[in-house]
Structure 1
Amino acid sequence: MSEQSPLVLVVEDEPDLADLYAAWLGDEYRVRTAYGGQKALEELDEVDNEVDAILLDRRMPGLSGDEVLAAVRERGIDCRVAMVTAVEPDFDILKMGFDDYLVKPVTSDTLRETVEGLLRRGEYDTEMQELFALTSKKAMLEAEKSATELDGNDEYRRLTDRIAELRSKADESLEAMTEGDDFEKLFQEFDTDE
């Protein structure tokens, strides 16, 4: 029997939209839907840490997406989260524990690419996951804010400093890997046809 496909939880208070996202993703992934924040927490209890990625609306009645995200992180659920929302990003996103941020409306291709990227990020170590998440936040802010607004924000400066630090560490790790024969030996096994 083959390994199960990744599980994606779609959290959206508009059932038609949640069902549309599920239809777009259903060919490649196992998908569960939750029509609101409280339902999302119930689904998470039910799947018992099996969820690989969450697509999370930010503004929902009752329990908001921000509150669901905080609960996911507090519970230690090891999954990637993308906010899929009509809420334009602001500097408050710098303190939020998501991995990607999409502003509605989104296309099926964008949604699929986002889930694919989230799942790929889940394979990286913690620092690389942080680098991807911070880079996504930086890109969203740069698309929405003026250079003056960005330059005047201390949190944004700390964000860019942290990204630079993580990139430097990643470059050092890559350099260390490529310096020795181990890197060459790693790929020699794939070159057996000659």
Structure 2
Amino acid sequence: MDKQAHILVVDDEAPERITLGEVLRLEGYQVKLAASGEEALALVQETTPPFDIVVLDLRLPGIDGLQVLDHIRQLSDETIVILITGYGTLETAIRALRKGAYDFLLKPCPVDEVLRAVRRALNEVQAGRHRRALVQQL
């Protein structure tokens, strides 16, 4: 597994954002943090190569998580988005998945559950890279 994966954590609640960021760093990932949708979009636009994964809170001040998800999908089809929220409903989860979210986790979410979702997402990232490499060889 690619431990040099670039992950963006977006959450307006500082303790959760900082804790998740530190846990991911301890796992060996490169992590950036954003406290708002606007800050997240600025980081997504300026980061090259694109983030492998964005762990995104649904409820954010200003631009909400679903709007951020839409913008990320427009900017990078390679970035996988995992939504996490304390205000989830089945309808919201379905909307998020239809918009391209990879996973939808409910707070309070145990750290090991987030790590499992990140690992699964990284497997998808690597599989996508492998497929693109094979297509280029053809």
TM range (shorter): 0.7 to 0.9
Contact 1:9 1:51 in 2 (8 A): yes
Instruction: Give 1:33-182 correspondences, 5 Å limit.
Output: 33-88=33-88, 89-90=90-91, 91-125=94-128
User: Runs of 4 or more off by more than 2 Å in structure 1?
Assistant: 91-95, 123-126
Letter in 2 for 1:71: H
The amino acid across from 1:24 in the alignment is V
What amino acid is aligned across from residue 126 of structure 2 in structure 1? E
Q: Which residue of 2 aligns with 1:23?
A: 22
Sequence identity, in percent?
27
Q: Which structure 2 segments of 5+ residues have no match?
A: 130-138
Q: Take 1:103 and 1:4, find their aligned partners in 2: how far apart are those partners? A: 25
Letter matched to residue 50 of structure 2: E
| In structure 2, C-alpha distance between the alignment counterparts of 1:4 and 1:101, rounded to whole Å | 22
Give the strand-richer structure, 1 or 2. Answer: 2
Secondary structure, counterpart of 2:126 in structure 1: coil
Aligned to 2:136: none
Gaps in structure 1 of 5+ consecutive residues: 127-194
> Which is worse superposed, 88-97 or 18-27?
88-97
Distance across 2 between alignment mates of 1:115 and 1:76: 18
Change in Cα spacing, 1:120 to 1:39, as seen in structure 2 (3 Å) is same
Classify 1:57/1:50 alpha carbon distance in 2 versus 1 (closer, same or farther; 3 Å): same
Task: Give 1:189's aligned residue.
Answer: none
RCO greater where, 1 or 2, for CA within 8 Å and sep 6 or more? Answer: 2
Q: Quick check: which one's helix share is greater?
A: 1
Question: Rg bigger for which structure?
Answer: 1
Change (3 A) 1:125 1:77: closer
Distance in 2, Cα, partners of 1:47 & 1:57: 20
Q: TM-score, normalised by structure 1?
A: 0.59
Distance 1:85 1:48, change over 3 A: same
Q: Residues 94 and 114 (structure 1 numbering): CA distance in 2 closer, same or farther, change over 3 Å?
A: closer
